[in-house]
Amino acid sequence: MMIIVSHDEAGDFKTIQEAINSLPQDNIAPVTILVKPGVYKEKLHLEVPFVTLKGEDAKATIFTYDDYADKLHEDGKKYGTFRSYSFFIGTHDIHIENLTIENSSGFGDQVGQAIAVYADGDKISFKNCRLLGHQDTLFTGPLPPTPIQPGSFIGPRENAERIIGRQYYENCYIEGEIDFIFGSATAFFYNCEIFSLNRNQEVNGYVTAPSTDEGEAYGYVFKNCKLTSDCEKHTVYLGRPWRNFAKAVFIHCEIGEHIKEKGWHNWNKKDAEEQSFFAEAENTGASAALDKRAHFSHVIKTSDLKHYSRQAVLCGEDKWMPWT
């Protein structure tokens, strides 16, 4: 089934949320929602499975909203991180293509965390998309088992069953500053550009902040990606552990000079130095040298790289793989 969304009379609906709301909650048939070019200022909520949401051109088809953590909610409390999203996905078998999804609220030191995409489910994939934000641009759910600060998980998944889902990002542009790719999912980023925004600080940011569950084989895998920036040289970390068993690896990536020589930060968690797995292999670029990397980081052997293919990371016994 095809549904068309357009600002003019050419579509079935004029807003994306109206199109989503027209679908049955127990949907089992593949549905494509085709979004015509335009700027759609909507706070989107998608919990219907087997949906493809597709634009014609990512730069011409933009979903945007501007909630943020420090903003006062109608319930009298601040939004917090996990109600600040522009687009929430809380289901499985979702494909997003040729779209820009933005949280336009601004820099984290002014508004706090502000999520563009909150993706929490299994078999969620993005292709040819632009994900724009500042602090906490992309949250790859689920939430960790417990919050460090009570009440800080308030939002659509605060008390939900945790599902360690698989997510896939191909040919995407992801932009942010502090911890702007974070969460507990197994996620594979292939041929993406990861852009760190300049805060004019001694530490301009952290690309990743995984919260991988203990015992999970993979957290974040970046392969054939480019890390770019407008930051000063050596002012951005590749990542730090939101939770102790965090995992993130960069393979065959181009590492720009904005990345610190140390590469990785322990977030002042000594236990995480032993329990996390931050690693690199065969990267290139101005800051790809490994001789000054943090002592707790790793180098993946060439013979082990086969374990980090898309199929190995995302499929296992389940042969799901988007766009193949």
- Between vectors from CA 296 to CA 256 and to CA 175, what angle results, nearest 5°? 30
CA 134 to CA 87: how far, in whole Å? 15
Residue of 67, 122, 179, 213 with catalytic role? 179
Phi, psi at residue 235, to the nearest 5°?
Answer: -125, 5
Burial 279-301 (b: 16+ CB within 10 A, else e): bbbebeeebbeeeebbebbbebe
Cα 35 to chain centroid distance, Å, stands at 22
Whether the Cβ atoms of residue 84 and residue 106 lie closer than 8 Å to each other: no
Residue of 136, 291, 304, 318 with catalytic role? 136
First-to-final CA distance of the chain: 21
Instruction: Reply yes or no on whether 136 is catalytic.
Output: yes
Whether the Cβ atoms of residue 38 and residue 13 lie closer than 8 Å to each other: no
Here the tokens at position 147 are 């919050």
208 burial (CB, 10 Å; 0-12 / 13-18 / 19+) is buried
Instruction: Reply yes or no on whether 70 is catalytic.
Output: no
> 113: closest CA among 241, 213, 16, 205?
205
Torsion of CA 14, 17, 18, 24, to 10 degrees: 150
- Please count the residues of the chain: 324
In the sheet that holds 226-229, the strands lie side by side as 38-41, 61-65, 100-103, 130-132, 173-176, 193-196, 226-229, 254-255
Which residues are the active-site residues?
Answer: 136, 179
